[in-house]
Amino acid sequence: MNTRSIIRKIVIILFWIGIWAAAAEVMQKSLLLPSPVSVFVRIFELLLIRDFWKITLLSLVRISLGILAAIILGIVLASVTHYSNLLKELLSPVLTVVKVTPVASFIILALIWIGRDNVPIVISGLMVLPVVWNNVSAGLRNIDSTLMEMADIYCIPRHIRYKRIVLPSVMPYFLSAIQTSIGIGWKAGIAAEVLTVPVLSIGKMIYESKMYMETTDLFAWTLVVICISLLIETILMKFVKKLGQKYNSEVSAHD
């Protein structure tokens, strides 16, 4: 980002913080809407607590494992259903069920079947899986058939076809799926933590803040979740940009 873009984003952030501060001042009820100052002070206090970093790391690991597993599984399922009509007919209902079933239903079922510490992993993965599966499938369907026919005529080896034809076609769809999946997976994972309350988790802290009416803590932990999500997305999208450039693919990424 250039200097002007950075300044513009800072001004926008300060504008909304100002609106928040004004609303808190008008309401004069910290139980309903704490001031930005009190929330930022609380975040600073949390940063000095050792358990804060342990809680944050464990939530990050759980949700990241779910997202990573879903990305790998989504690629595999997209590939096998593209090249096998039988498997496509067998597995397509699974994709439909995952897409239309409410997240809360999955969370409750997962809580019954597996330990609560593993629920966020499963839920974040389930939310990401259809996105990756659909996008990679779309990329495979849009491979240029003319190029594949030319590869057949000239007997081009499979690994060359994969590198020069398949990957450049699929990559834009895959990178778009990754960009979309980060926010979805992270929000679903935190929601699962709030409902299942695993030991040492951000979701548990949010739940307890609500239970004990600690609105300042609720706002503080919510801002922590937002900041972590933005940080992960920024880091990943930098990697995504380089990956897209490698395969001459254009991918829209957040600045």
| Per-residue pLDDT tens digits for 31-64 | 788 889 999 999 999 999 888 999 999 999 999 8
Given a contact cutoff of 8 angstroms between Cβ atoms, the answer to whether 226 and 202 are in contact is: no
3-class DSSP state of 185: helix
Nearest to residue 191, comparing CAs of 119, 89, 94, 101?
Answer: 119
Nearest to residue 64, comparing CAs of 178, 199, 174?
Answer: 178
CATH of the domain spanning 39-246: 1.10.3720.10
Higher-pLDDT residue of 3 and 22 is 22
3-class DSSP state of 34: coil
Rounded (10°) angle between helices 85-100 and 119-141: 130
What share of the chain has pLDDT > 90, as a percent? 20
The encoded tokens of residue 176 equal 């778009």
Nearest to residue 75, comparing CAs of 159, 173, 142?
Answer: 173
Other CB atoms within 10 A of residue 202 CB: 26
pLDDT at 251: 40
The encoded tokens of residue 77 equal 């399922």
> Quick check: pTM over 0.75?
yes
CA 28 from chain center: how many Å? 36
Asked if residue 248 has pLDDT above 60, the reply is: no
Given a contact cutoff of 8 angstroms between Cβ atoms, the answer to whether 219 and 39 are in contact is: yes
Measured CA to CA in angstroms, residue 192 lies from 48, 72, 78, 130 at distances of: 26, 21, 26, 18
Whose tokens are 């659909």? That residue is 134
Give 231's pLDDT tier (boundaries 50, 70, 90). Answer: confident
Measured CA to CA in angstroms, residue 57 lies from 46, 61, 218 at distances of: 14, 6, 18
Least confident of 17-31, 57-71, 128-142, 162-176: 162-176
pLDDT at 15: 92
Classify 198 in phi/psi space as left (phi over 0), alpha (psi -120 to 50) or beta. beta
User: What is the arithmetic mean of pLDDT over 145-170?
Assistant: 73
Length of the chain: 255
Would you list the DSSP string of 38-53?
HHHHHHHHHHT-HHHH
